[in-house]
């Protein structure tokens, strides 16, 4: 069911869309949606980091890395074996 609209309506609608595009009014909702997506992604990443940083295996990995760094620094200065 397609309605044939008068040509006058189509010209008026095109003029309105052109005016809104020039003024930036048409993009206002897009910016809000982009902020929502970024906020959701940041929240998810934050939750993932909290879970990761509080897990035992991650803390063991960090501890092993720091132990290796300390051993390398001490051996560079002649204090380690």
C-alpha dist (Å) from residue 81 to 7, 66, 68, 69: 88, 16, 12, 13
Residue 36 near residue 27, CB atoms below 8 Å:
no
| Distance, CA of 48 to chain centre | 13
The pTM of this model reads 0.46
Nearest in space to 53 (alpha carbons), one of 42, 61, 41: 61
Residue 17 in domain: yes
Residue 41 in domain: yes
**What is the residue range of 64's domain?**
7-76
Residue 17 near residue 26, CB atoms below 8 Å:
yes
Look at the chain and report how many structural domains it folds into. Answer: 1
Tens of pLDDT, residue by residue, the chain (81 residues): 556 655 565 667 777 777 767 665 555 666 778 888 999 999 999 999 999 989 999 999 999 999 999 999 999 888 865
- The predicted pLDDT at position 63 comes to 95
- The predicted pLDDT at position 78 comes to 86
Residue 81 in domain: no
Mean pLDDT of the residues in the chain: 81
Residue 1 in domain: no
């Amino acid at each position: 069911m397609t309605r044939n609209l008068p040509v006058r309506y189509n010209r008026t609608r095109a003029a309105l869309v052109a005016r809104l595009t020039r003024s930036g009014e048409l993009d206002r909702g897009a910016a809000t949606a982009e902020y929502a997506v970024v906020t959701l992604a940041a929240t998810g990443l934050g939750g993932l980091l909290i879970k990761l940083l509080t897990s035992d295996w991650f803390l063991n990995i960090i501890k092993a890395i720091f132990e290796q760094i300390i051993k390398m620094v001490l051996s560079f200065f002649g204090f380690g074996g």
